[in-house]
Amino acid sequence: MPVRDMPAAVAWYSALLGLEPGAATHEDRIYDLPAVGDVGISLDAHQPAFTADGPPRFFWWVDDLHAVRGHLATLGVEPSMDVTDIGSVSILQFRDLDGNLLMACQRNDGPQPGEAP
């Protein structure tokens, strides 16, 4: 994940994900967010002139998008869109401190449009 201000990004992502902030490595330009499993997210401040346009950089599954929206509000983060039902999932998009688009997704229970009950 490209970032411009590593200490601010570490604090922001740690608060977002409920993690204890740690120390960056590689001359304070890389920070690996603690993760479970084989997938990881690294904050990278090597190229601060990046642009944050495009689709979401990543997404993760959650059980309650409305709780996520409430958590974002406590962090002062405005969603880029309201919770949106797109059929089999609902999504919530928001931006980090550097404008990177992120997304939380919740699976919708029950039959989807066009499916038998």
- For the chain, give every domain's residue range: 1-50, 51-117
Spatial separation of the C-alpha atoms in residues 5 and 73, rounded to whole Å: 22
pLDDT classification of 38: cutoffs 50, 70, 90: confident
Sign of CA dihedral 56, 58, 61, 64: negative
Q: What architecture (CATH level 2) is domain 1-50? A: 2-Layer Sandwich (3.30)
Spatial separation of the C-alpha atoms in residues 60 and 48, rounded to whole Å: 25
pTM above 0.75, yes or no: yes
Spatial separation of the C-alpha atoms in residues 105 and 63, rounded to whole Å: 8
Interval 20-28 mean pLDDT = 94
What is 51-117's CATH number, 3.40.630.30, 3.10.180.10, 3.40.50.300, 1.10.1040.10? 3.10.180.10
